[in-house]
């Protein structure tokens, strides 16, 4: 059987895998490598993320490219997140062979409509409906200049998404987003393929914990908005303790927490500390105000934590509804908290998670399915 080669164009260096988008990229590399796929990885460099020898363990070759920044990129008719990720060296390397090309996110799709790649098998890996993501950032942002940027970016992304008609295959992280792409690209093959992730076995502990936990990158406006909602609308007036753990919490969030004796902020915990908090919490509570993509922190909490309370937008076609308690208003979320505050998390609930997560979110199973779809290998 001939070797299977695959180009992967990543919007960022996918190591360390410490935020949503690159988590999917990195663990996809590992899973495909385990199945024998030979990967040529192309990474665009981003400030604060260094080149990594770790990637060489899973790839035949790893190439790095600087992002194009400045006024020319900012005022291009193409979205800034796309036009900044172009390179003559990249396109020339893609033209050296006829291997399939996987474009990670709309960010990486500068060359997806290039006529020189017209006969190639091109895969678009969706992680968000990007223009919806940016319009929601616009809604929760307070700074007038940032609001203008997000609104303008959303409009350009909406217009630019038409290039996706050049994809031979779309691999989509949620069923909700798959419906959107099916509707807008009825001639394209669209397949639901959940995100790859760090978890292999369910590590949830039976029994009870002493606090509720929200975790996330709090410097992202959407997450800061969620934290503000939880503190002011849900945990205000409750005896339940809320721990908020995540990267770079804004000063106004810290001040808000200081006004509530039942709220504690843990800034920038390392992975070990974060996973310990997830496991020790009685409840992991996660809310979002935009239903796009798959929130990988939801998977982490289901693999590692006890009870999980979410709003319906957090689920977003994940098929994980039966593993979570769902509330969409502050009152509903308060009621869910009070209902389970004195209940032990049981071994039977762990077994249910093992069945559902093992069936739908196994990296090995999803890597094999990706290989079948790309290489038509149904052996």
Q: Which CATH number do you get for residue 369?
A: 3.40.50.2000
The reply to whether 133 and 266 lie within a common domain is no
Question: Which of 113-122, 191-200, 276-285, 290-299 comes out lowest in average pLDDT?
Answer: 290-299
Distance CA 127, CA 17 (A): 15
Q: How confident is the model at residue 376 (pLDDT cuts 50, 70, 90)?
A: confident
185 shares its domain with 217: no
205 belongs to a structural domain: no
CA distances (Å), origin 69, targets 75, 134, 257 = 11, 19, 37
Is 138 a domain residue?
yes
Rounded to an integer, the average pLDDT of 311-324 is 90
CA–CA separation, 105 and 177 (whole Å): 13
Compute the chain's Rg from CA coordinates: 21
Report the pLDDT averaged over residues 78-99. Answer: 97
> CA-to-CA distance for 151 and 108, rounded, in angstroms?
21
Residues 141 and 217 in one domain: no
For residue 204, is it within any domain? no
User: Residue 184 is part of which domain span?
Assistant: 5-197+362-375
Do 279 and 150 reside in the same domain of the chain?
no
268 has pLDDT over 90: yes
130 and 245 in one domain? no
Residue 206 inside a domain? The answer is: no
Looking at residue 1, its pLDDT comes to 66
Q: 113 falls in which pLDDT band (50, 70, 90)?
A: very high
Statement to judge: residues 90 and 11 lie in one domain = yes
Percent of the chain beyond pLDDT 90? 82
Same domain, 120 and 186: yes
Q: Are residues 175 and 233 in the same domain?
A: no
Mean pLDDT along residues 128-157:
90
Same-domain status, 168 and 294: no
Is the domain of 162 the same as that of 292?
no
Residue 348 lies in a domain: yes
* Cβ proximity of 217 and 137 under 8 Å: no
Residue 188 lies in a domain: yes
pTM score, two decimals? 0.89
Q: Is residue 207 part of a domain?
A: no
291 domain residue, yes or no: yes
Buried b (16+ CB within 10 A) or exposed e, 256-283: bbeeeebbebeeeeeeeebbebbbbbbb
Residue 154 has pLDDT above 80, yes or no: yes
11-25, 77-91, 109-123 — which is least confidently predicted?
11-25
Shared domain for 41 and 159, answered yes or no, is: yes
List the structure tokens of 182: 């099916």
User: How many domains are contained in the chain?
Assistant: 2
Q: Are residues 275 and 179 in the same domain?
A: no
Name the pLDDT band for 89 (thresholds 50, 70, 90).
very high
Q: Is the pLDDT of residue 35 over 60?
A: yes
CB 37 within 8 A of CB 58: no
Looking at residue 141, what is its pLDDT?
Answer: 85
């Amino acid at each position: 059987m001939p070797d299977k080669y695959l180009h992967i164009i990543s919007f960022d260096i996918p190591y360390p895998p410490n935020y949503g988008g690159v988590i999917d990229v990195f663990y996809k590399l590992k899973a495909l490598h385990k199945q024998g796929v030979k990967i040529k990885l192309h990474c665009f460099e981003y400030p604060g993320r260094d080149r990594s020898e770790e990637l060489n363990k899973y790839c035949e070759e790893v190439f790095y490219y600087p992002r194009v920044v400045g006024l020319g990129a900012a005022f291009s008719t193409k979205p800034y997140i796309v036009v900044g990720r172009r390179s003559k060296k990249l396109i020339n390397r893609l033209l050296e062979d006829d291997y399939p090309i996987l474009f990670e996110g709309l960010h990486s799709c500068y060359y997806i409509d290039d006529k020189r790649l017209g006969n190639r098998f091109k895969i678009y890996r969706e992680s968000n409906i990007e223009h919806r993501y940016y319009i929601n950032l616009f809604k929760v942002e307070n700074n007038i200049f940032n609001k203008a940027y997000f609104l303008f970016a959303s409009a350009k992304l909406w217009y630019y998404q038409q290039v996706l008609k050049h994809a031979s295959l779309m691999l989509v992280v949620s069923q909700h987003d798959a419906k959107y792409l099916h509707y807008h690209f009825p001639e394209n093959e669209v397949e639901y393929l959940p995100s790859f992730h760090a978890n292999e076995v369910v590590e949830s502990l039976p029994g009870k914990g002493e606090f509720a936990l929200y975790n996330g990158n709090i410097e992202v406006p959407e997450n800061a908005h969620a934290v503000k909602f939880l503190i002011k609308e849900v945990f205000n007036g409750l005896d339940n303790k809320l721990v908020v753990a995540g990267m770079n919490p804004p000063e106004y969030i810290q001040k808000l927490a200081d006004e509530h004796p039942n709220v504690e902020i843990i800034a920038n915990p390392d992975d070990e500390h974060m996973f310990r908090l997830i496991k020790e919490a009685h409840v992991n509570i996660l809310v979002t105000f935009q239903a796009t993509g798959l929130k990988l922190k939801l998977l982490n909490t289901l693999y590692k934590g006890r009870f999980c309370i979410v709003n319906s937008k957090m689920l977003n076609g994940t098929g994980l509804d039966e593993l979570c308690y769902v509330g969409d208003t502050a009152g509903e979320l308060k009621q869910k908290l009070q209902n389970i505050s004195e209940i032990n998390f049981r071994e039977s609930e762990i077994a249910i998670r093992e069945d559902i997560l093992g069936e739908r979110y196994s990296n090995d199973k999803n890597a094999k399915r990706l290989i079948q779809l790309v290489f038509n290998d149904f052996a």
